[in-house]
Amino acid sequence: MTTTPISQTEIWRRLADHATAIEGATLAQLFADDPGRAASLTVEAAGLHVDFSKNRMTVETRDLLVELAATADVAGRRDAMFAGARINTTEDRSVLHTALRRPKGDSLIVEGVDVVADVHRVLDKMAAFSDEVRRGRWVGATGRPIEAVVNIGIGGSDLGPAMAYRALRPHSDRDRTFRFVSNIDPTDLHEALVDLDPATTMFIVVSKTFGTIETLTNARSARAWLTGALGEEAVAKHFVAVSTSAERVAEFGIDTTNMFEFWDWVGGRYSVPSAVGLSLMLAIGPDGFHRFLAGMREMDEHFLSAPPERNLPMLMGLLGVWYTNFFAAQSTAVLPYADHLSRFPAYLQQLDMESNGKGVDREGRTVIVDSGPIVWGEPGTNGQHAFYQLIHQGTRLIPADFIGFSHATDPIGAHHDLLMANLFAQTEALAFGQDHDDPQRRFTGNRPTTTILGDRLDPEALGRLIALYEHKVFTMGTIWGINSFDQFGVELGKVLAVAIEPELAGDGDLDHDGSTNALIRWYRANRLG
């Protein structure tokens, strides 16, 4: 069935008219006109307090955006995703990361298989393994317990666990060291291993396909480092794998009894709640990991059941579309006022830009309006002393999410109050600006922000935040008619370098364009010098 592109619908035209009508209204005016604005545009749900009122919207905008969601059938597609329909049409797959956090005892039969039972079989295996390692009962080849865990993976097999480990470090077992190796640049592996002892080091090789060149190259070099010290037999006690391909894991030389399975219906960038999160479970323990899953589930249930006008991921996604398509915003900033969330923006870059960075819709047509925005950010207050200048006084409109917590993770003196005072001050200044006779010193204000507050950065809160953004991205992709679950742009990169690598060490003729030929010749001439 062919659908009407969203930009040709009646509601899109009404939104365009409405955008023109409220374009001139400043946030200062909107607050003056409606004293109840902060209350009516704040949503308290799923453990979060989210203030949308400093956005360039009115209640009427919200209601029109809710109509847009209905026209794009966000709710229908959401239900289809949760039920296991093959909504990833280009790869003919279900999209079931939400099944990864369903409780034990639930059941979801997809094409004859109870996927929730499968999920818990693997979660139980992960928990048993984690307990062994954490209690020192899993010993290495020389009989010593594991003191360091090195996760080898890239993209979706790295960003989630690396971000989540950093976010939840205070909840982790501090006696053990955790490292994450992703880059093919040899310095990444070198730095990770330089002070580790092979006898007490465990490697987790994480690759959905077990065919990714960076991961396999790093894993082979790690194996050589281990076996050089402890011999070939050591692999069985020091290497485990996380993958969908038992065959390739066995081929690599890892015993499949030490393999933790996941499924092709889990996209890489959505995989941290699967076995891909094994390093996180080793760090924070099975109970901590289950709390993380419970937080995700809480947001899933909210996304499934809350009415659109109080549905956090839907509202965030709708606002994302509002700014991208009606205010020509090119980027969006995510600014966590929690240093432990320092990798959260990088994680969201993949989640959002790999999902919605597409120019063709599900039906193969060119998407004629802008789609996925550029996502960026750094923790506050650091960013304030760097790039906030451009958000305050630059020429571009950059909607920003400010994330903060009422409790400090590591309380010291008045630090946390100062941190949060900065968050509140920034959103106030961005919205209302500051007048000045000197235009250089003038802050025009009217710069939109959404403030997302939680109680404390614990496993549940991290789970809620991740699921919040997953469903935000889903909402946006659905409105644009995009398949948010494939990544052909990444796959091209996986094959291109393979052809050039042997040319670098050779001296044969080159058949690229003039620039690439010259660059390869320069490298050949200089690489051994």
Q: Which of 156, 273, 277, 459 binds ligand G6Q (CB under 6 A)?
A: 156
Which 3 state secondary structure label does DSSP give 358?
A: coil
**Category of 159 on φ-ψ map: left (φ > 0), alpha (ψ -120 to 50) or beta:** alpha
Closest CA to 280 of 190, 132, 201, 173: 173
Q: Under the criterion CB under 6 A, does residue 157 sit at the interface with ligand G6Q?
A: yes
Q: Under the criterion CB under 6 A, does residue 212 sit at the interface with ligand G6Q?
A: yes
Q: Which residues lie below 8 Å from residue 103, measured CB to CB, with a gap of 6+? A: 297
Cis peptide before 89 (omega within 30 of 0): no
Q: Based on C-alpha coordinates, what's the Rg of the chain?
A: 25
Closest CA to 380 of 349, 358, 401, 356: 401
Q: Under the criterion CB under 6 A, does residue 357 sit at the interface with ligand G6Q?
A: no
54 is annotated as an active-site residue: no
Nearest approach, Cβ of residue 271 and ligand G6Q (Å): 7
Q: Under the criterion CB under 6 A, does residue 154 sit at the interface with ligand G6Q?
A: yes
Q: Which of 140, 267, 379, 454 binds ligand G6Q (CB under 6 A)?
A: 267
Q: Angle at Cα 287 formed by Cα 281 and Cα 291, nearest 5°?
A: 90
CA distance 13 to 10: 5
**Category of 107 on φ-ψ map: left (φ > 0), alpha (ψ -120 to 50) or beta:** beta
Q: Under the criterion CB under 6 A, does residue 336 sit at the interface with ligand G6Q?
A: no
Stretch that binds ligand G6Q, among 67-75, 155-163, 474-482, 514-522 (CB under 6 A): 155-163
* Closest CB to ligand G6Q among residues 372, 448: 372
The residue of the chain with the least Cβ separation from ligand G6Q equals 155
- Indicate the residue type of 135: R
Q: Under the criterion CB under 6 A, does residue 354 sit at the interface with ligand G6Q?
A: yes
From 298, 354, 460, 503, the catalytic residue:
354
Q: Under the criterion CB under 6 A, does residue 217 sit at the interface with ligand G6Q?
A: no
CA distance 215 to 158: 10
* Closest CB to ligand G6Q among residues 272, 400: 272
Q: Under the criterion CB under 6 A, does residue 277 sit at the interface with ligand G6Q?
A: no
Which 3 state secondary structure label does DSSP give 159?
A: helix
Q: Under the criterion CB under 6 A, does residue 208 sit at the interface with ligand G6Q?
A: yes
363 is annotated as an active-site residue: no
Residue count at the site for ligand G6Q (CB under 6 A)? 15
Nearest approach, Cβ of residue 292 and ligand G6Q (Å): 19
CA distance 118 to 274: 11
494 is annotated as an active-site residue: yes
Q: Under the criterion CB under 6 A, does residue 97 sit at the interface with ligand G6Q?
A: no
In the complex, which residues of this chain contact ligand G6Q (CB under 6 A)? 154-157, 207-209, 212, 215, 267-269, 354, 487, 490
Residues noted as catalytic: 354, 385, 494
